[in-house]
């Protein structure tokens, strides 16, 4: 969606976002210049065009303060993951969760937890786990993994030492020592009451 932008362009976008949140409307080109110490209005206009081309800003022609920020895409909820016996995690998004950039924690997608095998780690049935796509993790990290048949997704604690295993945080469940493949690391948790 967006190409690389400079640090200055990111600061301009952040200032526009903060102004809209604080005042309810975007800053003028001159206000952007004053705030970021850019003396030439045409230089500010150039950076705004770059942000628009990158898909990070929408402009309304020659209208003063005619700028809006595109709505964040949010993280897709891709299905369910088991905290118990394996459950198939669908790859079709069942919705999106919009999170402030500080709360995204590098996540690529969200899975809804089904089961009670991770209650000892504070992960309950119905929780949404934020997952970053990666095919490896450190010993002791909580991961999303596919079991040997490649169809069942589980959320477990990874044990690398000794015999690799996926460990539950509930004594009612045995470790999974059959072949598995890590497909993501849990980087956050969302819960509704």
Write out the catalytic residue numbers.
117, 156
Structural tokens at position 131:
């997952």
CA dihedral 12, 18, 24, 29 (to 10 degrees): -20
Q: Are 136 and 167 in contact (CB under 8 A)?
A: no
Share in percent of the chain as helix, strand, coil (round to 5): 25, 30, 45
Structural tokens at position 48:
């705004």
* Phi, psi (rounded to 5 degrees) for 148: -50, -40
Which residues 6+ apart lie within 8 Å of 193 measured at CB?
A: none
């Amino acid at each position: 969606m967006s190409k690389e932008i400079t640090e200055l362009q990111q600061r301009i976008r952040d200032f526009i976002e903060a102004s809209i949140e604080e005042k309810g409307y975007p800053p003028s080109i001159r206000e952007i210049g004053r705030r970021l110490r850019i003396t030439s209005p045409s230089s500010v206009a150039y950076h705004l065009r770059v942000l628009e081309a990158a898909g990070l800003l929408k402009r309304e022609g020659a209208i003063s303060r005619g700028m809006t920020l595109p709505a964040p895409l949010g993280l897709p909820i891709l299905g369910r993951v088991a905290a118990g016996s394996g459950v198939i995690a669908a790859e079709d998004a069942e919705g999106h969760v919009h999170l402030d950039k500080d709360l995204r924690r590098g996540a690529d997608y969200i899975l809804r937890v089904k089961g009670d095998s991770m209650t000892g780690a504070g992960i309950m049935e119905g929780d949404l786990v934020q997952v970053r796509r990666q095919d490896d993790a450190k010993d002791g990290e909580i991961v999303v993994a596919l079991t040997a048949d490649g169809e069942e997704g589980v959320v477990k604690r990874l044990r690398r030492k000794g015999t690799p295993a996926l460990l539950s945080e509930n004594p009612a469940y045995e470790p999974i020592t059959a072949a598995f493949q890590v497909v993501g690391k849990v980087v956050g948790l969302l819960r509704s009451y």
